[in-house]
């Protein structure tokens, strides 16, 4: 699906755009979205990940791509201007990671089920309801559009530990490159 498409680079935290609220996509953004979506899917599949929000690739628009690959089949979704319209009162805790915080994971508690309203790539209003991994992914990606990272749901202590590990990891990666 995205073999011939050049993946767009994924930003690693901390980057200012990852903490900023993205603006709504408008009809004027249509050409940009058409070019961006395949590159986002290419980056997400290459990483590999199951969701990628536009701010993670340096674009401050309310858009994300997602593919949970049920039964190892490609089932891509493009969600433009998504909004959570219903949340369950029950919560669920599951391990989350993030392509902008590579290789680091933590338990995050969120509503167990959500319903999200969004526009698809054709501009048609859609709704998706989910629980389990789907609910977590939807909420995680919408958080990105609001400048929230999964670590922001953790205690200050846990968040600081993860961010220190990330900085160390990135420094070591840079040092290895510098040695080449």
Active centre residues (catalytic): 141
Closest CA to 102 of 150, 30, 147, 61: 150
Q: What residue has token string 């029950």? A: 90
- Residue recorded with tokens 């609220």: 21
**CB-neighbour burial class of residue 145 (10 A; exposed 0-12, middle 13-18, buried 19+):** buried
> What is d(CA 5, CA 8) in angstroms, rounded to the nearest whole number?
9
Q: Residue 74 in 3-state DSSP?
A: coil
């Amino acid at each position: 699906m995205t073999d011939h498409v050049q993946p767009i680079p994924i930003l690693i935290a901390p980057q200012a755009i990852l903490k900023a609220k993205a603006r709504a996509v408008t009809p004027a953004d249509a050409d940009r979205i058409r070019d961006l979506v395949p590159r986002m899917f290419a980056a997400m599949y290459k990483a590999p990940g199951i969701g990628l929000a536009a701010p993670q690739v340096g674009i401050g628009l309310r858009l994300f791509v997602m593919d949970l690959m049920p039964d190892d089949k490609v089932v891509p979704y493009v969600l433009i201007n998504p909004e959570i319209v219903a949340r369950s009162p029950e919560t669920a805790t599951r391990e989350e990671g993030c392509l902008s915080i590579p290789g680091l994971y933590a338990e995050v508690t969120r509503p167990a089920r959500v319903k999200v309203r969004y526009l698809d790539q054709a501009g048609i209003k859609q709704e998706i309801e989910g629980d389990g991994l789907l609910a977590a992914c939807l909420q995680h990606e919408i958080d990105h559009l609001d400048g929230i990272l999964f670590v922001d749901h953790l205690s200050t202590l846990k968040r600081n530990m993860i961010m220190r590990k990330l900085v160390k990891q990135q420094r070591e990666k840079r040092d290895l490159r510098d040695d080449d």
